[in-house]
Structure 1
Amino acid sequence: MNQQQFDKVKNGKGFIAALDQSGGSTPKALLGYGVQEDAYSNEDEMFTLVHEMRTRIITSPSFNADRILGAILFEQTMDREIDGKYTAEYLADKGIVPFLKVDKGLADEKDGVQLMKPMPELDQLLERAKERGIFGTKMRSNILEPNEQGIKEVVDQQFEVGRQILDAGLMPIIEPEVNVYSENKAESEKILREEIEKYLDQLTGDEQVMLKLSIPTHANEYKSLIEHPRVLRVVALSGGYSRDEANEKLRENEGLIASFSRALAAELNVNQSDEEFDKKLKEAVDTIYDASVNKK
């Protein structure tokens, strides 16, 4: 594991950008960027267009290591190049730590949660990720109800796969998202925190993981996780909140930093001039950075 990148993630001021929309969410991401579905006729063309969008973001002067600690990539983005370099290498040269989304989507809902689909080729993907210069990984589950059995299964699965990622020499971001529209979100968050703590206490030696969680209903609900010696960093997803709302909620949580996707790219458009694009991106980056480092 790259020690310089490890230290930046652990101690740096800033946030982690999520640029990892995949398969099912890519058309929506492109639509938000102003690219209509009739602009592409197959999946290859669609992924080429989304790579152009991500390239525009990553190469922007507003996307810099002064504000951004890391960026989470989709598998196809990792395997593509920016200015003749693999994307992770390009990011690393900018001083931004590259992560990779490794899950293959969500299974059907059961017991109030959606587990991750099986990942039979994960070992091969992790090996390729290391060759491409990836520092860590991210994988998402979805919690819809405060069902203790369901939440336990989510955490069991997340840490089982997290162990596989640690053994491969990469840093896992454990992401058991609690749906922000859940009627009993706070109750789910309490159960989730307790289940995560059980697993953290079982890690040994110098093992650490990262956590990516929904911004909690009750401020500082995850303070014990943020302070846990087995946690490198806790980041928060925007989860459908507007950027202003996500930033406001984030400021209430000491030690919690952003890992926003939609809230980062919401005002970017394919038809903007480079000057206007950079201006809008800078506004997003600056406000998310501020919410991550300046607390109430």
Structure 2
Amino acid sequence: MASDAFQQMKQQMAEGQGFIAALDQSGGSTPKALALYGVTEDMYDGDAAMFDEIHQMRTRIITAPDFTKQKVLGAILFERTMRGEVAGKPTAQALWEDRGIVPFLKIDKGLEAEADGVQMMKPIRGLEDTLKEAAAFGIFGTKERSVIQEANAKGIAAVVAQQFEVGRTVLSCGLVPILEPEVNIKSATKAKAEEILKAEIAKHLDTLEDGQDVMLKLTIPTVDGLYDSLADHPRVVRVVALSGGYSTDEACARLARQPKMIASFSRALTEGLSKQMPDTDFNAALGANIDQIYKASV
């Protein structure tokens, strides 16, 4: 990617008003996402047909009138979506050139079994090859998810160390990583886990050098404003929030109380959308979702 385009994207992610759309459901979560969209498993045969259905859904979202940089700053893609096309262009190119939206790629390959109160990322085989391919497609950054189930200091330290280790690989390939150590919203020790997580992230941020800038994707905290100091760290481009299973209304209400977080929602963005809707109804419903998430983010 030309350095001027990269800098434009980075400035938009750092300073823009809006949110990031998470369009990165993978193999495991795709059937559920499609079912919510009115496409049940008896309506397609096999993985190829399933992924074709989800790509059609994403294409419909990306080409909708309200899906532009005016409210949507970035979009996180699944690998197959990156390799696919929207309106005759590679997806990342269509996002940036036609919509002004910064493209990201989900790179994690799922979670390990729980140990020490956390779920680490599974090994990401062929990561550097994937990152080179992403850069060639014009992808700006990546996203990688692990999950914290309880306030276990040893487990949280391990999760954060792994996140930064993968993040450094992403940085070495010229992309900006979104580190996503999610805290389960149902955790009985959510608030305590978030305190431990914040301290661990701050410690690792201080080891990054000038130019090694990252983004953070975190569960909306129990204590409002908890992550403001992370957002102010010189190595942090932006702190974004995951909805984590909250309803759209609750996620937006909680997010609105976080002055230095913007949304990176998935399910909330597509809530109420159906394949069977005519385009006028689909676009109106999507526009209303975008508007609600945007208002909570700004």
Q: What displacement does 1:224 show?
A: 0.9
Q: Which residue of 2 aligns with 1:174?
A: 179
- C-alpha distance in structure 2 between counterparts of 1:131 and 1:256, whole Å: 30
Q: Select which of 59, 68, 86 maps to 1:82.
A: 86
Aligned 1:62-101 pairs, distance under 5 A: 62-93=66-97, 94-101=99-106
Post-superposition shift, 1:201? Answer: 0.5
Q: CA deviation at 1:207?
A: 1.7
Match of 1:287 among 287, 292, 298: 292
Structure 1: distance between partners of 2:42 and 2:32: 13
TM-score (norm 2): 0.97
Amino acid at match of 2:53: L
The residue identity in structure 2 corresponding to 1:171 is V
How far the C-alpha of 1:206 sits from its partner, in A, is: 2.3
**Counterpart in 2 of 1:207?**
212
Q: How far apart are the structure 2 equivalents of 1:261 and 1:253?
A: 19
Taking the aligned partners of 2:56 and 2:210, their CA distance within structure 1 comes to 42
Q: Which amino acid aligns with 2:148?
A: I
Equivalent position of 1:243 in the other structure: 248
Segments of 5+ residues of structure 1 without an aligned counterpart are: none
Q: Residue 17 of structure 1 corresponds to which residue in structure 2?
A: 21
Q: TM-score, normalised by structure 1?
A: 0.98
Deviation sequence 1:219-256 (CA, Å, 0-9, x none):
01111101111100000000111111000000111111
1:67-108: CA deviation from partner (whole Å, max 9, x where unpaired)? 000000000000000121000000001100000000001111
**Out of 48, 53, 56, which is 1:52 matched to?**
56
Q: Percent identity?
A: 57
**What is the correspondence of 1:118-137 to structure 2 with a 5 Å cutoff?**
118-137=123-142
**Is the contact made by 2:215 and 2:237 (CA closer than 8 Å) also made in structure 1?**
yes
5+ residue gaps, structure 2, are none
Deviation per residue, 1:132-164 (Å, 9 max, x gap): 110000000000010000000000100000000
2: CA distance between counterparts of 1:127 and 1:134? Answer: 10
Say whether the 8 Å CA contact 2:217–2:242 is kept in structure 1.
yes
What code does the residue aligned with 2:55 have? H
* 1:43 lines up with 2:47 in the alignment: yes
Stretches (4+) displaced over 4 A:
none
Measured against aligned partners, the alpha-carbon deviations of 1:249-280 in whole angstroms (never above 9, x if no partner) come to 00111111000000110111111110000000
State the match for 2:194 in structure 1: 189
Deviation at 1:49, TM superposition (A): 0.3
Matched, 1:254 2:259: yes
Aligned counterpart, 2:164: 159
Q: Cα RMSD between the aligned structures? A: 0.6
Counterpart of 1:244, as a letter, is D
Matched with 1:267 is 272
Shift of 1:26: 0.4
